[in-house]
Structure 1
Amino acid sequence: MYLALYRKWRPQTFSDVRGQDHITAVLKSQAAGGRISHAYLFCGSRGTGKTTTAKILAKAANCLDLQDGDPCNRCESCRAIDAGSTPDVLEIDAASNNSVENIRDLREEVVYPPSMLKKRVYIIDEVHMLSTSAFNALLKTLEEPPAHVIFILATTELHAIPATILSRCLRFEFTRISDEVIRERLVMVAKEEAIELTDEAAALLARLADGALRDALSLLESCAAAAGSGPLDAAAVRRQLGVSDDGSAAALLGALLKKDLPAALRTVDELHRQSKNIQVFIEDVLELLRYLLIRKSAPAQPDEAPPLSVPKEALEKLRVLCEQATVGELMRCAAAFEDVQGRIGRYASNRRTLLSLTVIRLCDPRLANDVSALEARITELERRVASLAAAPVQSAPMQASAQAPEPAVQTPEAVPAPPPAPQPPPQPEVKAALFSRSAELLEALQGHKNLYSFLSLSRIVEQGDALKVYTDYLGKNIMSTDGAKKLIADAAAAVTGRRFTVEITEKAPEQEHPSLIYELQEAAEHESQIT
């Protein structure tokens, strides 16, 4: 029968468990000295070895030929536990057996001695799913169980366990496994399974596993099946798992720091077109922001390892942009991406829309209402005013005090001036009026969603052969490109039969309190008048 890789390569001894040496060393010592406790609590994130270690501990407690604290895996007891044929080692899922009746049944069973082994072991997985009544029913048995019973509780939610349960167990906290340990394990498994795994692909899989070795083996199996008999490289991993390309996170962050909204939206659209995993992409952006913030906030610290997903060339360009940005701006970006990451988890159907709205808000400081954004705008205002005040004042050149004497010029006789040439008749002023065929123009542009959306919110004015579009700041950024203007002009020509020149103009929004951007402009004009 075929077994999944994470089951086939599950550790069988304490020595095989990777990344949890602080736990396996204690358990080996207890097993070798015959000092195994009556109740254990294994807690930690998923895929770190809690259930695997519990089964190894069950074998060590019943092994007939211990090898320095490790089970031999050859005796009758070890083979029965591995095969799952013994009734003395029970693995209980607390998510589906969480009632007080289930715990009462368990209390009635523990009084009976084991039928085959030395110890009866109860492994209760996801124990935090038990109800309050079930926990209360378990207390007395957990505190003073029969001598032949061992309880091993496993959970990913330590905070959900009552303090009365915690005080009755020997607790071990499983940590996330480092990327390097996961990478080495993946290389070893790939070699044994005849999978041509490159070092770059192994490092990428280790990073995507997020400290869970079981998840890393599952990802390896999925990517190897998709790659077939060919080599499994980083490009194949990204293609199979929907991970963005190397420079996408750096490209988006660079566009945000430069406030280049069209480039940022193009990056988002390209991710959506290639069906990339938006959540993984946001994690890449957050990891990159963390690296840049550490570099900028604590330059005296040892060099932080750069993210693996960013090429060196893109990282160097991003560092230059980061030097011009403030810590507040980077923190605002990190907070915005962290917020959209949580909302994407709840609203999985509109991930592209949520990410696009976040990008638009970050590119235009006037759209942000949080305190950090206001502080960033005030800082920018102060910086602009200070730079204007520090600019050198250029005075007009002094006129020469002494003028050279002009040579005497003989005055010619006065000649009558010719009659003035007739002035051309004044041209009638071309009046501006609202474009009367706006509805037909919008209907012709329905196939271009972004352009249609912003144009429908704009005011279109016809003045002679010019078609003037009055829009807001974002609309101007979107529609000022040559391609957008050509689309509008072609659509207007198709509707009216005339060729127009398209002009995009930003109209300041009517607000009770002017935006800080306009305050900047007024301050700059006032400063220029002073100097």
Structure 2
Amino acid sequence: MYQALYRKWRPKTFSDVIGQSHITQTLRKQVAEGRTSHAYLFTGTRGTGKTTCAKILAKAVNCEHPMDGDPCCQCPSCVGIENGSFLDVLELDAASNNGVDQVRALRDEAIYAPANVKKRVYIVDEVHMLSTPAFNALLKILEEPPEHLMFILATTELHKVPATILSRCQRFSFKRITPQDIAARLLYVAGQEQIDLTADGAELLSRLADGALRDGLSLLDQCAAVGGTVDSRAVLEALGLAGNLQTAQLMEFILSRDAKGALLQLDQLYRGGKDVGAVLGELSTLVRDLLLRRTAPEGGAALLSGGYDSATLDRLGREIPATRLIYLATTLQRATADLYYSSNRRTDAELCLLRLCDESLSGDLTALEARVQRLEDSAQRGQLLRAAAAESGGTVKPSSSPVPPPAPAPEDAPPLEELPAREERPPLPEEPPLPEEPRARVFDVPEAQPAAPSPAAASAVGGSWWRALAEGCKGRLPPMYRVFLDMCTGVLEGGLLTVYAPDDITLGRLDNDRVRNALMEEAASGGVTVRLVFQVGEPPKATPRENLQNLLKFGSQFDNIEIK
């Protein structure tokens, strides 16, 4: 008769237990020195070896020929306990025997000496399921049991066990088994069972086991029943996880901001019988794996869900910032929680995909952050272009469209000297010189520092005065205002400083007392008192003649400025 792998390969001694050396070494030493306790409490998640260690401990304390704390597994006591023929070692399920009457019956029969072995051992599994009266009935005998009695309690929910029980037991906490240990054990079992298990298949099964060796053996048993080589693809097909590839394709559309492709992929999954809530849950798991792989590339492998192979995670997580992954995870968690109250789950899932593809649709600060990020990216690209042009000796034109090269002259065109001369026009009458502007609109430049330009002069030559003023204000303002301030342009005329914002959003962010005071204080530190006005639009462009007049007027103060 066929026996499941997790039962067939259940450890028989402490040395066979995987991943719990901090517990098995202590128990072996206690058995070898004869210092065992009357009550133990084993706690941990499923499949980590709690009940297995309890049975091994029960055999070890009753073994006739123990070997360094391990049972020999050959004496009559070990054999009888292993096959269940000795009733002195009894395993109880507290989930079905949780009443006070069952505990009283156990307490009444526990006082009798064992018939076949040295110690009567009671293994109570899932002890947290006992009722409060049952716990109270267990207290007295658990505190002062007879010499021949031992209790081994096991639970997966330690917080439900009363403190009065905890204080009477030696507690051992079983940790999750690492994927590396599970994979090594699966490869060993597969080799003994003549199962063709590959290394990538064992790695995928170990991650799907989620720290439980029993789950890993059960999954291996299921995949081996299909036949053939058990690799990662065979595992996905045998366990019904091939749909994860479609989820990965959906995530690829989201990361590339292809809203149309994402909606079509969701429609394909929906028509195939997939629940939209399950789709969002799988997307959330995938984003979590990508975020863990980005933030902890080395030690985070043990935290992955295991539903996706390394190649898929590497392809999806390439060049995706952690901030966007956090936004995707937060949005998916919120949308998944809201689906419970939704009247149209499919529509809400589609709206969630649209928000994932375009952060500006979220309607909160995330939309603003997305706009700022795009502006910073474009500014960085512009800096790289200018740096590349400077290295190659060229210049970057401010216009977005390239200037077409001059068309070659046709062959039948007349030579240049034969073209008719242009009519000579009378010279323009000289315009009267412009009146000198008042000194109130410029900073007074000391004679000892002729290289420091005045505001008006610097404004005439590239607007460097406004940039200097804006940079000086950044120390007085939070980062959010600094970004918007870089998007504006300032013009100083007389005592009036006009700040031109590119749009209403920027104007609304900057038109407040905090920004006004910072700009006016920074200007006052330079020796000028200004009046401040915010306006949407671009600053008026000066005519060539006005630029020439400004250059002639202030050129004598800036001999060290080289105009290219």
String of CA shifts for 1:145-188, please: whole Å, max 9, x gaps. 11111111111111111111111110111111011111111111
1:256-335 to 2 correspondences below 5 Å: 256-269=254-267, 282-294=284-296, 309-312=308-311, 315=314, 318-320=317-319, 322-323=320-321, 327=323, 329-335=324-330
Secondary structure at the residue paired with 1:78? Answer: helix
Relative distance call for 1:313 and 1:140 in structure 2 (3 A) is closer
Residue 363 of structure 1 and its aligned partner are, at CA, apart by: 3.0
Unaligned runs of 5+ in 2: 383-395, 401-419, 426-502, 510-534, 541-564
Are residues 1:379 and 2:369 paired? Answer: yes
**Aligned residue in 1 for 2:140:** 140
Corresponding letter in the other structure for 2:65 = D
- Distance in 2 of aligned mates of 1:389 and 1:71: 72
- Distance in 2 of aligned mates of 1:45 and 1:340: 29
Relative distance call for 1:243 and 1:139 in structure 2 (3 A) is same
Are the aligned partners of 1:104 and 1:137 in contact in 2 as well (CA < 8 Å)? yes
**Aligned residue in 2 for 1:359:** 353
Are the aligned partners of 1:247 and 1:311 in contact in 2 as well (CA < 8 Å)? no
Corresponding letter in the other structure for 1:238 = L
String of CA shifts for 1:322-365, please: whole Å, max 9, x gaps. 14xx62x3223223444567789x89xx9988765543443354
**Aligned residue in 1 for 2:161:** 161
- Distance in 2 of aligned mates of 1:149 and 1:288: 52
**Aligned residue in 2 for 1:42:** 42
**Aligned residue in 2 for 1:186:** 186
Corresponding letter in the other structure for 1:126 = E
Corresponding letter in the other structure for 2:131 = S
- Distance in 2 of aligned mates of 1:384 and 1:281: 25
Are the aligned partners of 2:119 and 2:150 in contact in 1 as well (CA < 8 Å)? yes
Secondary structure at the residue paired with 1:171? Answer: strand
String of CA shifts for 1:198-220, please: whole Å, max 9, x gaps. 11111111110001000000001
**Aligned residue in 2 for 1:473:** none
Relative distance call for 1:8 and 1:310 in structure 2 (3 A) is closer
**Aligned residue in 1 for 2:555:** none
- Distance in 2 of aligned mates of 1:383 and 1:530: 25
- Distance in 1 of aligned mates of 2:504 and 2:222: 55
- Distance in 2 of aligned mates of 1:518 and 1:209: 55
Residue 69 of structure 1 and its aligned partner are, at CA, apart by: 0.5
Are residues 1:98 and 2:98 paired? Answer: yes
Are the aligned partners of 1:119 and 1:148 in contact in 2 as well (CA < 8 Å)? yes
Are the aligned partners of 1:118 and 1:148 in contact in 2 as well (CA < 8 Å)? yes
Relative distance call for 1:106 and 1:191 in structure 2 (3 A) is same
**Aligned residue in 1 for 2:556:** none
- Distance in 1 of aligned mates of 2:379 and 2:164: 67
Relative distance call for 1:197 and 1:101 in structure 2 (3 A) is same
- Distance in 2 of aligned mates of 1:353 and 1:210: 33
- Distance in 2 of aligned mates of 1:85 and 1:342: 51
Relative distance call for 1:314 and 1:160 in structure 2 (3 A) is closer
Equivalent residue pairs, number = 396
Counting aligned pairs with the same residue, the percent is 48
**Aligned residue in 2 for 1:486:** none
Are the aligned partners of 1:249 and 1:281 in contact in 2 as well (CA < 8 Å)? yes
Secondary structure at the residue paired with 1:216? Answer: helix
- Distance in 2 of aligned mates of 1:133 and 1:256: 55
- From 216, 230, 233, give the equivalent of 2:231: 233
**Aligned residue in 2 for 1:85:** 85
**Aligned residue in 2 for 1:219:** 219
Unaligned runs of 5+ in 1: 296-301, 397-403, 410-516
- Distance in 1 of aligned mates of 2:65 and 2:236: 46
- From 423, 434, 456, give the equivalent of 1:407: 423
Output the TM-score relative to the length of structure 2.
0.62
Relative distance call for 1:313 and 1:181 in structure 2 (3 A) is closer
- Distance in 2 of aligned mates of 1:103 and 1:218: 33
Residue 265 of structure 1 and its aligned partner are, at CA, apart by: 3.3
Secondary structure at the residue paired with 1:153? Answer: strand
- Distance in 1 of aligned mates of 2:65 and 2:106: 30
Residue 248 of structure 1 and its aligned partner are, at CA, apart by: 5.1
Output the TM-score relative to the length of structure 1.
0.66
Corresponding letter in the other structure for 1:134 = A
- Distance in 2 of aligned mates of 1:351 and 1:83: 53
Secondary structure at the residue paired with 1:65? Answer: coil
